[in-house]
Amino acid sequence: MISMLRHKITNLSTLASRQPSIVRMFSSFDCGPPGKDHEDDIVHMEDRKDIVIPEYPQRENEKLETRKQRLIYQSRKRGMLENDLLLSTFASKYLQNMTADQVHQYDTLINKPSNDWDIYYWATNKKPTPPEYETEVMSLLKDHVKNELKESRRMPDL
């Protein structure tokens, strides 16, 4: 096994001495020309009329307890760690005692916007919250995000 690894390392070293451009190609990450502003490379969804994002389907006949369980799971699995932490700790702390109307507000808040960064920016007050999401639950989430008691937060246990 060790002799096989030595052989492969020797072959790679030989290749590197013969073809330095190949090594350079794989050993660095090129983000484009130095000084180039990559803001133009970002796709802004509101500017794209050809991309249609399907509307979130409301689950009208879902039992309240089932909806709460689904929202606990969805709060943990957002696809971005910042929201995973904020929303999972929020859901763990508040969701069980929410009314049906508040649960509906929370469901709409975390599932209707197509971009999780929007939720993050609204909750942290980096961007203004659109009127349709400025609800009792959003106010509660914004207070939770402030973390005035300076609690150490981690992902809640399942």
The stretch 14-40 carries a mean pLDDT of: 51
Q: Say what the pLDDT of residue 121 is.
A: 95
Q: What is the tens place of the pLDDT at every residue in 80-103? A: 899 999 999 999 999 999 999 999
Name, in order, each residue with C-beta under 8 angstroms of 100's C-beta and a sequence gap of 6 or more: 64
Kindly list the domain boundaries of the chain, sorted by start residue: 64-146
Residue with tokens 């197509």: 114
Q: Helices 136-146 & 116-123, crossing angle to 10 degrees?
A: 70
The torsion angles phi and psi of 156, rounded to 5 degrees, stand at -65, 155
| Structure confidence by residue, pLDDT tens digits, 48-60 | 777 777 777 778 8
**CA 75 – CA 87 distance, rounded (Å):** 5
Distance CA 6, CA 22 (A): 21
User: Could you say which of 1.10.150.250, 2.40.50.100, 3.30.565.10, 1.10.3720.10 is the CATH number of the domain covering 64-146?
Assistant: 1.10.150.250
Query: What's the pTM value of the predicted model, to 2 decimals?
Result: 0.66
Residues 86 and 117 sit within 8 Å (Cβ to Cβ): no
Please, is 89 exposed, middle or buried when counting C-beta atoms within 10 Å of its C-beta (0-12, 13-18, 19+)? buried
